[in-house]
Structure 1
Amino acid sequence: MNYRWFYILLANIALLSANIWLFVDKSSPDVVQDKDSDVELPVFKVGPLKDFGISSVQSFHFPLMDPLPSKEEQLQTLLIQTQSTVIQKDNTIKKEQQKRTQTSQRFSLLSKENAVLQQQLLALEEELKKQQALLSDEKSKVARLGKVEKEVPVFETQITRVKNAIDSKPDLIKSKVTTSKPGNESSTDEIEIKKFSGSMEFGFSYEQDNQVTRSLNGRLILDYDEVDKYNFNSDLEFEFENEDDESSTQKYRWQLQSDYNLDPANLVYARSDINRSKFSSYEQEDIFTIGYGRIFFNTERHKFNIEIGPGYRFAVPNAGEDAVSIDEFIVRTRLNYERVVTDSLQVAIDTVLETGRGNSVHSVNFKAQNRIYQELYLIFNFDYKFTQNVPVDTVNQEISSGLSLLYAF
């Protein structure tokens, strides 16, 4: 172990000798005299440092010998670094805020454009609905005109056209008659819609056997029709019967009805039916109803429609007869079918059911009319009426039939 320390000491001495030999100038040493004594000390000159790759003593740097920085310098350096980081983050935040502001502005512009487009879309939808309604009206008009329009030869005279119109005109089913302007026979025929129409009906019978019986009945019908808008109808009917100069039957009936068309197939109506009869079960029967009607089909040859609605009935029995039902709410249902069999023969079936809590009335009317000449018709009528509850000593069923002449205008 002592030899180990000895070898280390020798190595250090050898290194020291080598340093002295390398850094000390081998020329004659300068002699320096000590100020405090007369002894002169030799001075060894060190050769130029450039011989060892060192330019100067100042440039010869030993890193291990540099002094450590102070705490203030460390804090200052850290502060500068922190400030630089904060500035960078602030710049990043500002850029993000600018991007967000630009995005918000763009979103606001897009929202305004969307609102304007929505308003334009609503306006276009309203215009489309109006155009569709107009188109539907035009189609319905074209369909109505197409039902009655007939092909007329170009060289057909006006008299022939009028004659054909009269011969083929259906009376139970209203239609349009084609006419042309006077003095302009070569022009295209125009469709004329007849708004006002009517008819007068009279019947008379005379019988002589054991008794002399005379009867007179009449009817006046007035109708005003505004196509696809509204319709007014008045139907006044009366009947007188006399046996051996004594009055046996007096009957009046006046029916008024007003229809308002919702569209070509649907309507609403208000109706009054006033009956006065001197010798029947009820002296007075007044019925007032409102309701809904629907036309299932209406062509030149046939028509079918229904009506249904609530109403109120006033029923007053004749003197000396017990009352069965007086003043009650009812529900009225009507089915009506009209048919043009030939150019001169038309038929119609009309059935009505009036249902109340205390009494119900069902009636059926069959009518056939045949053209005799132009606007003159022979009419056959058959009426059946059934009343559920009637006064004592009166019948539930009432049946009547007859022939009469009708003039239409």
Structure 2
Amino acid sequence: MPRLIHFALLMALCTSAVAQEGDSPWSGDAELGFVASEGNTDAKSITANGSLIWEEGNWKNDSQMQTLNTESEGVRSAERYFVSNRLAYTISPHNYLFNYIAWEDDRFSGYKYRATIAFGYGRRIIEQPDMLWDAEIGPGYRKAEELSETGGATEEDGILRAASNFRWKISPTATFEQKLSVDHGAENTVSKSTTSIKTTVKGGVALKVSYMVHYTDNVPQDKVHADKQTTVTMVYSF
């Protein structure tokens, strides 16, 4: 699992470097933990995730990285890599414009890769000291290639992307978060739901439990529509 280890070390180094700056526009999380998957991937694995946020003035940039890689007796049973970047510009106290780019490689879903780009309008529906809710919508484009030894079919589709992010600070040490996204196109629709709760253990260290459902309407032959993933990770926030 060398790539997973390299990723975890890279996230730790980036986290340390940013945290030392103090009063920085940078913040984020570095996660390492256990995951149980059902669907196209049935495995128990180690996962490493990271988020890096830069916010200054009217601008906010949010980068997300996720990786899952499992081998058992020399046979790889799970391999997933996901990277996204979302840039937003606030045009008024509760309204913003956004640009979203994502790339996913999940060999056990039947796709060699899936790339998405979208842009549009977002609005902060709720803004309270203990609760935030953002929703956004806009047009985009998606390209995906099916996995095949002889060269898989390529899907290209104009999409309408809708997304929601709800965060509720239940107590001084516990935070609930619900993320939803739907990329709807004429050829295919891909939906993703992630529900999580994070509890602070001490300082910047927390325990996080999350449940993700990734649903694809049209899938390659012999693949299921829904991938489900339950994850327990230790999180270092800065």
Equivalent residue of 2:172, what SS? coil
In structure 2, what residue type is equivalent to 1:276?
Answer: D
- Pair 1:271-2:100 in alignment: yes
Deviating beyond 6 angstroms after TM superposition, the runs of 4 or more aligned structure 1 residues are 321-325
Match of 1:220 in 2: 50
Rg (Cα) greater in structure: 1
Query: Contact conserved, 1:214 with 1:242, CA < 8 A, in 2?
Result: no
- Pair 1:337-2:166 in alignment: yes
Flag structure 1 segments of 5+ consecutive residues without an equivalent.
1-191, 207-212
Higher-helix-fraction structure: 1
TM normalised by structure 2 equals: 0.83
Q: CA RMSD in A?
A: 2.1
TM normalised by structure 1 equals: 0.49
Deviations 1:90-119 (A, max 9, x none): xxxxxxxxxxxxxxxxxxxxxxxxxxxxxx
Higher-strand-fraction structure: 2
- Report how far residue 399 of structure 1 moved: 0.6
Equivalent residue of 1:279, what SS? helix
Q: How many residues align?
A: 211
- Pair 1:312-2:141 in alignment: yes
Match of 1:346 in 2: 175
Match of 2:116 in 1: 287
In structure 2, what residue type is equivalent to 1:241?
Answer: T
Q: Distance in 1 between the 2:228 and 2:35 partners?
A: 17
Q: Distance in 1 between the 2:145 and 2:168 partners?
A: 37
> Alpha carbons of 1:322 and 1:335: their partners in 2 closer, same or farther (altered >3 Å)?
farther
Give percent identity, aligned residues only.
21
Query: Contact conserved, 1:323 with 1:391, CA < 8 A, in 2?
Result: no
Query: Contact conserved, 1:196 with 1:225, CA < 8 A, in 2?
Result: yes
Q: Distance in 2 between the 1:376 and 1:363 partners?
A: 27
Aligned with 1:198 (options 4, 13, 28): 28
- Pair 1:299-2:128 in alignment: yes
Flag structure 2 segments of 5+ consecutive residues without an equivalent.
1-21, 37-42
Q: Whose RCO is larger (CA < 8 A, sep 6+)?
A: 2
Deviations 1:367-388 (A, max 9, x none): 1100111110001010001111
> Alpha carbons of 1:302 and 1:205: their partners in 2 closer, same or farther (altered >3 Å)?
closer
Q: Distance in 1 between the 2:135 and 2:150 partners?
A: 35
- Report how far residue 324 of structure 1 moved: 7.5
